Amino acid sequence: MKPLFGSFGHRKKDIAEELESHLRLATAELVERGMDPEEARASAMREFGNVPLVEDIATEMWGWLWVDRLLQDLRYALRQMRRSPGFTATVIGTLALGIGAAAAMFTVVDHVLLRPLPYRDAGRLVAIQEHATNDPRTSGAPWLDIQQWTLRSHSFSQIALFDGMPGRNFLEESNGGGMQISAVTVSPNLFATLGVTPSMGRDFLSVPMGSEVSKNADTVILSDAAWKAAYGGDPGILGRNIKINSKSYLVVGVMPPGIEIPFGPSFPQVWTTIALGDQDKTRYYNSPDYSVIGRLRPGVSIKTAQAEMSTIQNGLAVAYTDARVRQERTDARVQSYADSLVAADIRKALLALLAAAGVLWLISSVNTTNLLLARGAARQREIALRGAIGASRSRILQQFIVESLVLSGAGALLGTGLALGAVQLVSKAKPAHLNVEFSAHVNFTILAVLCGLTLLTALVSSAWPAFLAVSTSIESAIKQGGQQSGTGRRHSRVRRTLVVCEVALSLTLLVACGLLLRTIYTLRHVPLGYRTDHILVAHLAIPSYRYSNRNMIVDLYQPLLDRVQHLHGVSAAGFMSEVPLAQKFSIKLTVAVNGQSSIAVLKTVSPDIRRIFGVKMIVGRFFDDHDTATSEPVVVVNMAYARLHSPNPHDPSAIVGQRFMNLRKDMPTKIIGIIDDERQGKIGEPSQPEVEVSLQQLSPDSGFYQPSTVAMDLAVRTERAPDSIIPELRSILGQANPDLPHATFNTMDQVVEDSFGSQRLAAHLLEIFGGVALLLCLAGLYGLLKYTVTQQTRDIGVRIALGAQRTDVLWLVMRQAAIMLLAGLTLGAALALPSTRLIQSFLYGVTAHDGWTLACAAALLLVSGLSAAYLPARGAARVDPITALRTE
C-alpha cells in the first residue's frame, strides 16, 4: 500500500507511533535486565538519538515533507513579522523602494526599447539610412540610390520604401466632416517585405517601382484603426471610392489590427503607392527622400549588410553633383528597424536611467542585508537553540530564505504599486520627441522580471545573514549570546563595509542627479531671444482640403485674427507657422547662393508676431500692414542667416536690401530687416539661419510655398488667465471653422517647459532615485551606529566610569561615522566619474566630470551622514555608567 496524496498527516502519525514503539521495546528490555523504568526510558532515548529528526527524515522518504516545512516556515516568518512590526515595515519599505524603482524603469524601457513590432520575423527587418561619414545624423534616401541598392546588394531578400504624404492629411467623411489621418505612400512590395497581409481585400499589385503607369495608382489600403474610426468597420468598404485631401482613391484592402508602418503614427494610417516624379530622377537637394526598410537574407548579419551597404553608398556618392549634398550622403547605415525607432541618445539615456534604478535596487538590497544582519545577531541565541533541539542546517537556511522571500514578496507588491504610480508620472513628463504611449499596463515580460527581481532580492539580501547564522557554532552562541564574540565583530565589520558601499553608490546617483539639475538650470537661463510670458498658443489643425480652391488668408486667417484681436484682454494676436520650441514640425528651405546650397528655417508669420514675442529688431523693419499680396514681396532674416550670407562678411547688416528667390512668379524678394537670433528647435542648440515671410503676402499662386499645406499656430498676448480666455477663443475658432474648436491650447511658458523633455524626465527620475538613495544610506548609517552603540553600552559605561570625558565618547562614535563616510565618498567618487558619462548626451552647459557637482553631492552626503550619526553618538555620550554596568 503506497498512499501518496491526502494521507500525509496519517503517515507522520504512523512514523511517530513506530518510533514510540521502538522506544517502548528498548525500555522494556532494559527494565527486564533490572534497570529502573525511568532510567531505562532515559537510556533508551539517549541511545535512540534525535527523535524528531529521525521522524522528519523517515517522513521525507515519502516525499511530501517539504510542503509541510514550507508552510511551517511561512507561518513562522509571518509570526516573526508580526512580532517586530517596526523592523518589518523598514525592510518592506526599503525593498519596495528598490524594487519599485527598478520595475518602473524597466516598464519604461520595455515600452520604449523592447516594443514588439507587429511584423513577421521583425528582428530581420532593418532600416537603411544615408548619412555623412562620422556624423550620427541620418536622412532617408533618394529613389536613384535605392534603385542601385536593390540592384547591387546581396544582403537583402527585399528592399521596400515609404514616405509620409506632405503636410497634414484628411480623410473626407460621408457626413461632410474631415478626419485627420496619417497618409503614407509606399512601394508595392512594402507589406510583403514586412510579412503582413490584409485581413480584408488584397495587397497592392506587385509591379516594379518606376514603371510609368502603375496599376496601383489611386488605390488605397486602410489600417484597421482608420477603417473603424472613419467607416465604423463597415465590411462593404472594399471597392468604394474615398477621398483623401480631396483626391479620390479606390479601397482595395484593410490591414489587421495593430499593423502600422511607420510604427507609432499620431493618427490612423492609410497607405497609397508612391508615384515617382521628375525630381526622383535626380540626385539633388530637392530629390525626395524615402524611408527604406530591408529584410535581411537568411544567415546575413546586420554587420555584413552594413559593410556591403557602406561600400555601395561610397561608390554612389560620387554621382551627387552638389558638394554639400554629396558630403551628407557618403555612407549608409544599416540598423535593426526596432532600434531605428528610438534615437540613439534616448536609448542610451534610458539604459543609463535603468542602470540608475539598478543601483538604487542594489542599495536597497544592501540596506536590507544590513538590517537582516543586525537582526541575525540579535536572533543568534534563538537560532542556536533551534540547532540544539535538532533543526538541521539546511532547515535553518531554508527558514531564512522563506523569511526573506516573504519580506521581498511584500516589498515587491508595494513596489509594484509605487512603480505604477511612477510610470504615470513618467507618462506625464513624456519627452515631446519620444513618440511612445506609456501605459501603466503590466505585461508578461514585466511580470516575469518582477518575479525574478523579487527572488534575486531575497537571495542577495539574505544569503550573507543566513550563511553567518548557520555557520555560527551553537555552543559559543548560547554561552555568550554572541554579543562580544568573534562572530559579533565579524558581523559589524561586514556591516561597516556594506554602509561604505551604500554611501559610494548613493554618491554616484546624487552626482548624476546634480548634473541634470544643473543642466535644467542652465537651460532655463539660456537667453531665448523672445519673451514667453503671457502668451497663449493654439495649434490649429485646419482641414486644408476645404480651402483647396480658396484663399485661406482672406477666407480664414485674416477674419479670425480680426476677431481674436478684438477680444477683451488681448493686446496682440498673430499667426506663426510654428511657434519656437514646439518641436512638432518645421519647414526647411534650401537656399542656393553662388552654387552652394545651405539650409534655412522658413517661417510664415503675421506682422503682429514680433510684438507678441518681443523679438529684437537688429536693423531694418519687420512686416507691417502695407505688405500685402500685391505689394513688393519682402522677407525678414535672422542674424545667423545674415552672418552667413551677407555680401560683406564683416557687416551682416549689409544684407538688408539684397534680393533673393522668387516669392511670387518673376518677382524677386527683398530682404527688409534682420531680427535677433532666437532658439528655434531646442534650447540647447544655437540659432539656425531663418527666413520669415509675411502671411499676408501669400496667395494661392505663391511660387514656392502654399499656405494651405502647413499647420498654423495662433499666438495671443493676453493679461488674462488662460482658463478664462480659452473658452472664448474656442468659440471664435468654432465660428470660423467647425473643426477648429478642438485645437490644443498651451501657454508659451509650458511649450518651453515641455521642450526640456528628456532632460526633465531624467532629472525627475534621478531626483527621486538620488533622494531615496540618500535616505536609505542615512538609515543604514544610523541603524548601524545605533546598533553598535547599544551593543557597546557596557564598554562605554566602563570608559566613562574610568574617567573618559563624554565629549570623547561622542567623538569616538562620530569618528567611526566619518571614517565610513569618507571611505564611501572616495569609492563613490571613483565610481561616479565613469558612470556619469552615461548621461553625457543629456547634459547642457556642464561636463560629466564637473568637480563642483561632485563636491556638492559629497558635501551633502557628508553633512547629512554626520547629522544622522549625531543622534546615536549623543546617545552614547549620555550613557549612565551605573545603569550600563548593571544591565549585563
Residues that bind another protein (CB under 8 A): 2, 14-15, 17-19, 21-22, 24-26, 28, 46-50, 53-54, 57-62
Cell numbers of 289, please? Answer: 527622400
* CB closer to another protein out of 49 and 803: 49
We find the least distance from the C-beta atom of residue 21 to another protein, in angstroms, to be 5
* CB closer to another protein out of 3 and 834: 3
We find the least distance from the C-beta atom of residue 61 to another protein, in angstroms, to be 4
Round to whole Å and give the CA distance between 672 and 718. 29
* CB closer to another protein out of 60 and 625: 60
We find the least distance from the C-beta atom of residue 49 to another protein, in angstroms, to be 5
DSSP 8-state class, residue 210: T
Check if the beta carbon of residue 512 is closer than 8 Å to that of residue 770. Answer: yes
* CB closer to another protein out of 66 and 467: 66
Cell numbers of 23, please? Answer: 522506544
We find the least distance from the C-beta atom of residue 390 to another protein, in angstroms, to be 11
We find the least distance from the C-beta atom of residue 25 to another protein, in angstroms, to be 4
Residue 165's identity, in one-letter code, is M
Between the CA of residue 631 and those of 1, 42, 444, what are the distances in Å?
A: 109, 120, 65
How many residues are recorded in the chain?
888
We find the least distance from the C-beta atom of residue 47 to another protein, in angstroms, to be 8
- DSSP helix/strand/coil, 71: helix
DSSP characters over 358-423: HHHHHHHHHHHHHHHHHHHHHTHHHHHHHHHTT--HHHHHHHHHHHHHHHHHHHHHHHHHHHHHHH
* CB closer to another protein out of 40 and 305: 40
Check if the beta carbon of residue 856 is closer than 8 Å to that of residue 513. Answer: no
Q: What are phi and psi of 578, to 5 degrees?
A: -155, 130
Max intra-chain CA distance, the chain: 134
* CB closer to another protein out of 5 and 444: 5
We find the least distance from the C-beta atom of residue 388 to another protein, in angstroms, to be 15
SS (H, E, C) 794-850: HHHHHHHHCCCCHHHHHHHHHHHHHHHHHHHHHHHHHHHHHHHHHHHHHCCCCCCCC
Nearest Cα residue to 125 out of 96, 168, 152, 160: 160
* CB closer to another protein out of 25 and 344: 25
Omega prior to 649 cis, within 30 of 0:
no
* CB closer to another protein out of 53 and 798: 53
We find the least distance from the C-beta atom of residue 72 to another protein, in angstroms, to be 20
Residue 374's identity, in one-letter code, is A
* CB closer to another protein out of 67 and 307: 67
- DSSP helix/strand/coil, 233: coil
Phi-psi region of 753 (alpha: psi -120 to 50; beta: other; left: phi over 0): alpha
Between the CA of residue 669 and those of 51, 664, 693, what are the distances in Å?
A: 105, 8, 10
Give buried/exposed letters for 317-342 (b at 16+ CB in 10 A, else e).
beebebeebbebbbbbbbbbbbebbb
We find the least distance from the C-beta atom of residue 63 to another protein, in angstroms, to be 8
Q: Is the dihedral of CA 299, 302, 308, 313 positive or negative?
A: positive
We find the least distance from the C-beta atom of residue 815 to another protein, in angstroms, to be 49
* CB closer to another protein out of 4 and 78: 4
Instruction: Report the run of H or E that residue 468 belongs to, with start and end.
Output: helix 444-471
- DSSP helix/strand/coil, 328: coil
Whose grid coordinates read 478626419?
Answer: 179
Check if the beta carbon of residue 203 is closer than 8 Å to that of residue 259. Answer: no
Round to whole Å and give the CA distance between 342 and 264. 11
* CB closer to another protein out of 14 and 345: 14
We find the least distance from the C-beta atom of residue 73 to another protein, in angstroms, to be 22
* CB closer to another protein out of 24 and 886: 24
Check if the beta carbon of residue 769 is closer than 8 Å to that of residue 700. Answer: no
Round to whole Å and give the CA distance between 206 and 187. 9
* CB closer to another protein out of 25 and 67: 25
We find the least distance from the C-beta atom of residue 473 to another protein, in angstroms, to be 17
Check if the beta carbon of residue 468 is closer than 8 Å to that of residue 393. Answer: no
* CB closer to another protein out of 65 and 309: 65
We find the least distance from the C-beta atom of residue 50 to another protein, in angstroms, to be 7
Neighbours of 624 (CB within 10 A): 12
* CB closer to another protein out of 32 and 278: 32
We find the least distance from the C-beta atom of residue 401 to another protein, in angstroms, to be 24
Cell numbers of 791, please? Answer: 551593543
Check if the beta carbon of residue 173 is closer than 8 Å to that of residue 231. Answer: no
Between the CA of residue 566 and those of 561, 574, 577, 605, 718, what are the distances in Å?
A: 9, 12, 22, 19, 11
Query: Which residues 6+ apart lie within 8 Å of 288 measured at CB?
Result: 142, 143, 163, 277, 279, 280
Determine the distance from the C-alpha atom of residue 434 to the mean position of all C-alpha atoms in its chain, rounded to a whole number: 9
* CB closer to another protein out of 44 and 354: 44
We find the least distance from the C-beta atom of residue 2 to another protein, in angstroms, to be 7
We find the least distance from the C-beta atom of residue 391 to another protein, in angstroms, to be 15
* CB closer to another protein out of 50 and 241: 50
We find the least distance from the C-beta atom of residue 6 to another protein, in angstroms, to be 17
We find the least distance from the C-beta atom of residue 59 to another protein, in angstroms, to be 8
Round to whole Å and give the CA distance between 111 and 109. 5
* CB closer to another protein out of 18 and 382: 18
Round to whole Å and give the CA distance between 716 and 612. 7
